[in-house]
Structure 1
Amino acid sequence: MSAKYGLVGYNSSRKHISISIPSSTEVMSPHIKSVEELRVLGINLSSFSAPTQFFICVAGVFLFYLVYGYLQELIFSVEGFKPFGWYLTLIQFGFYSMFGLVELQLTQDKRRRIPGKTYMIIAFLTVGTMGLSNTSLGYLNYPTQVIFKCCKLIPVMIGGVFIQGKRYNLADVSAALCMSLGLVWFTLADSKIAPNFNVTGVLLISLALCADAAIGNVQEKAMKLHNGSNSEMISSVLVPLCSFFLKTFFFLICGVLYLPLFLPPSQHPVKTYGYAFFFSLTGYFGISFVLALIKLFGALVAVTVTTGRKAMTIILSFMFFTKPFTFQYIWGGLLVLFGIFLNVYSKNRDKVKLPSIKDVKTWLLTGKKVRFLSQNV
């Protein structure tokens, strides 16, 4: 009996605790929200259909990154600016820091799961890849630099083997081989006809790609170990760290050894800082649309769009800036594109089906229509 009354007393004294869990749309970065409520640069595109969203994202990628590439080459065409690639990187990080701090104030979820030590490593590598990439333009044609950037797969694979112990299949190895041969072809052609070709530029952009590849592997490993998200990894906290690294390390140490590389050019201040502002702004906006493409349509579509954007950048570079041309550029570039195709196919074998030898033979002998490339949805 006493047990019964005790149980009743226990039931009557129970307290109810309500725990509310925020939805994914509430905690995600305002840069890009979920598929149901797509936000790019604060603009809600959820009311549009999927094809319209795709068109807007692709248009954003092409618009901002084509302007980004044009401004990058334009800055280095300013008289006397070529030696100041590291200073441009400092300006770029300064603007990125301002843009990032604005985004940080708008972000509702400010929690950090990845330790600060990892951010510092990524920050240092980011400074290296952007600084070396900008500096390489003082020694290389812009199209050659873009071709090198298209071949980031090569150092990524090498870094994946040593950093994460990955193993790659035949398609990935073949893709890396095609890219390597295309790079050699393109570089040899550039060395013969380009008046400002310098092996130093090849070394700088190669080191930039190695640092870029290390960034991707470190980010992937950190997200797996600490259950971090893409939104956290690209958040604005990383940008001020990069700026801090650049200011302290390069100015206080390297600047003492070779000061002219880090001093601002004073001949054209309006052009220098004006171009640099829009250069940084378009780069910051461009990544928003790339992330939206990945979020909505997957990495396969995003890689295809960005590769097309890089090809268009090379074409516009020859149109707007006077430089020598040879058909060897085309053959080397096509070989690199084929390597990119092999890489995309390797990662999406379940979605993309290539024709069999039997299908090709049937088409050659009978002329019967065959679906040479089909995509499973």
Structure 2
Amino acid sequence: MDLKFNSSRKYVSISVPSKSQAMSPHIKSVDDVVVLGFNLSKFNKATQFFICVSGVFLFYLIYGYLQELIFSVEGFKPFGWYLTLVQFGFYSIFGLIELQLIQDKRRRIPGKTYMIIAFLTVGTMGLSNTSLGYLNYPTQVIFKCCKLIPVMIGGVFIQGKRYNIADVSAAVCMSLGLIWFTLADSTIAPNFDLTGVVLISLALCADAVIGNVQEKAMKLHNGSNSEMVLYSYSIGFLYILLGLTCTSGLTPAVTFCSKHPVQTYGYAFLFSLTGYFGISFVLALIKIFGALLAVTVTTGRKAMTIVLSFLFFAKPFTFQYVWSGLLVVLGIFLNVYSKNMDKLRLPSVRSLWNKCTEEKQTRTLSQTV
């Protein structure tokens, strides 16, 4: 017994690498938060938060402005898929450059998985860009805020999930907000088209699926963000190129953009660059402060994007946009609260009533004294 036990123990060894030994970049990233080549880990939490929030607002506000600016070019609205093709091309170049800057350049995630992710990415961004040819930009942003709705519907019918009252209330608020916002848009917007609603809804469904697929693939195969960007967008580029070639949509788009190179290719480059930088700061915000704070910041950014859209681009306005937007924001808060009920404990009606009663009794007693 002792001999077998001793002989078996010699095959079990645990080695702890010293600090001087080189670590895998994937392991190192757990401690170090590097954004655009800058290590944020050497700053305190307040400075990290300020840098991340500033990056999210700066780059995504520019991203939204340029996206709407491109579609404001007269005659460009039919070429949303070509804009996506150009955007995917730039993202692939950015991902290749970033991948060259890290130590481990191996592809870890299987090619078949990337083909699925690329298809979903094409659906998400292509349909979203194309919908701007039929919808106002604020309506598109409101729809993109409501990813919870297709996620819940898929969870009920595919996985048989059950949701609590907070999740159901969030979905109801988002649905009512979307319906109210869309009705307002259809009433006062001269360029409203139901086709845009269908396109952005399909983009929303693809967006709801792609997050789960990407997260599962990266956790299962330990893939990096730069690898995910490079392969998913480069394969997606080939998908869109093939689709535009087969539908004869490539030649008219190239002809039009060659006549307006600055307003199309120039803006598309800045549009893609700011979008790529923006997602880097969002990921850093999630890693340092968690998803709860990240959702709060990105929701504020989307609200600011809608406000700036009305300020910089002339479009009809009604206060129905405000009330429906607030309903969507309430739905987002309820969704975040349901996922963090242990961290965010709202007081119950009974506790509020007891507190008010105690304060009233205290004031009465003080007046009596």
| 2:346 aligned to which of 344, 350, 354 | 354
Q: Which stretch of the first structure deviates more once superposed, 334-343 or 114-123?
A: 114-123
User: How far is 1:170 from its partner?
Assistant: 2.3
- The 8 Å contact of residues 156 and 216 in structure 1, kept in 2 or not, is answered as no
Does the C-alpha gap of structure 1 residues 354 and 199 become closer, same or farther in structure 2, counting only changes over 3 Å? Answer: same
CA–CA separation in structure 1 for the residues paired with 2:92 and 2:221: 25
SS of structure 1 residue aligned to 2:299: helix
State the alpha-carbon separation in 1 of the partners of residues 208 and 239 from structure 2: 19
- Cα shift at 1:176: 1.1
Aligned to 1:94, which of 86, 89, 93? 89
Which residue identity is paired with 1:100?
G
Alpha-carbon distance in 1 for matches of 2:172, 2:224 = 30
The share of aligned pairs that are identical, in percent, is 71
Deviation at 1:246, TM superposition (A): 1.5
1:55-83 CA distance string (max 9 Å, x none): 00000000000000000000001111111
SS in 2 for 1:310: helix
- Measured after TM superposition, the shift of residue 141 of structure 1 is 0.6
Does residue 242 in structure 1 map to residue 236 in structure 2? yes
Determine if contact 1:113/1:227 at 8 Å carries over to the other structure. Answer: yes
Determine the structure 2 residue equivalent to 1:265.
257
**Cα distance in structure 2, aligned partners of 1:88 and 1:26:** 40
Could you tell me how far apart the structure 2 residues matched to 1:146 and 1:239 are?
22
CA contact (8 A) 2:130 2:199 kept: yes
| 1:222 positional shift | 3.7
- Picking from 143, 146, 164, the partner of 1:151 is 146
Which residue does the alignment assign to 2:330? 338
Do the aligned partners of residues 227 and 22 (structure 1) sit closer, same or farther apart at CA in structure 2, a change above 3 Å counting? farther
Counterparts of 2:256 and 2:133, CA distance in 1: 15
AA partner of residue 312 (structure 2)? F
TM-score by length of 2: 0.86
Distance 1:222 1:44, change over 3 A: closer
1:158 and 1:108 map into 2 onto residues whose CA distance is 41
Q: CA RMSD in A?
A: 2.8
Question: Kindly tell me: are residues 195 and 79 of structure 1, through their superposed partners in 2, closer, same or farther at Cα, counting changes over 3 Å?
Answer: same
Give the direction of change, closer, same or farther, for the CA distance of 1:126–1:344 in structure 2 (3 Å limit).
Answer: same
More deviation in 204-213 or 266-275? 266-275
What is residue 253 of structure 1 aligned with on the other side?
A: 246
Task: Kindly indicate whether residue 128 of structure 2 is the aligned counterpart of residue 136 of structure 1.
Answer: no
CA shift, 1:260, in A, is 4.7
**What code does the residue aligned with 2:147 have?**
K
Tell me the residue number matched to 1:8. none
Structure 2 unaligned spans of 5+: 1-12, 361-369
Q: Which runs of 4+ in 1 moved over 6 A?
A: 21-25
Q: What CA distance in whole angstroms lies between the structure 2 residues aligned with 1:158 and 1:260?
A: 39
Secondary structure, aligned partner of 2:85: helix
Aligned partners of 1:162 and 1:241: how far apart in 2? 30
Deviation at 1:115, TM superposition (A): 2.2
Partner of 1:170: 165
Distance 1:253 1:221 in 2: 33
Correspondence list, 1:91-240, <5 A: 91-162=86-157, 166-223=161-218, 226-228=220-222, 231=225, 234-240=228-234
Distance 1:264 1:282, change over 3 A: same
Is 1:40 aligned to 2:32, yes or no? no
Q: Please identify which structure carries the higher helix content.
A: 2
Which residue among 19, 23, 27 is the counterpart of 2:24? 27
Alpha carbons of structure 1 residues 103 and 283: separation in structure 2 relative to 1, 3 Å = same
